[in-house]
Amino acid sequence: MKNFIFLIALIIFFTMNSQEKLPCYEIPKMQENYSAPNTVARMIDGLGFRYFWSTQGLRAEDLAYQPKGDGRNCQQTVIHLYDLSNMMLRLTNTNFIQVKGKSEMLFSEMRKQTLLNLEALSKKIKKNKDLSEFSSKKDGKVSIPFFNLINGPIADAIWHTGQVASFRRSSGNPISSKINHFSGTVKE
């Protein structure tokens, strides 16, 4: 039985490492242009980087981990992060195709789609000179100011990405020590 589990783990490891390179492996280099769109896009890039590494190499036992008491387990938190990435796309009118429905996705597919969503959002925000166009409007009036996007789904996603990192540490699978969250780079 131990050999079977080891074989399955080995197959999963090589399958995950042979996949195409996903976005957010590192934070992209940017010119020092501190416009509002670049600053928010950088927040999204930082979120993507942290999400990439907090979800990289999660095992079944990591996904099942739940702290004592009520609340989401790690898998449910990852699903919530996927939902938040879609909310951000919706609130900024960023049209980005979802390859599969949420209920049809495996963890690896949901992780990839979340990373692609964050990348698409960052790119769209970087292309604009002003953030006001991202405020949701109804009947010509602002119904959801862009600031609510920052303190709502963006901040919430950063919070929950930290939870995933904490959950995986608690289940015995900490994030790689080669990650530099300050610079958004990975030591090879």
What tens digit of pLDDT does each residue of 136-173 get? 777 777 678 889 999 999 999 999 999 999 999 999 99
CATH hierarchy code of domain 2-186: 1.20.120
Q: ∠135-138-142 over CA atoms, to 5°?
A: 40
The identity of residue 50, as a single letter, is R
Would you list the domain boundaries of the chain? Answer: 2-186
Which pTM does this prediction carry?
Answer: 0.85
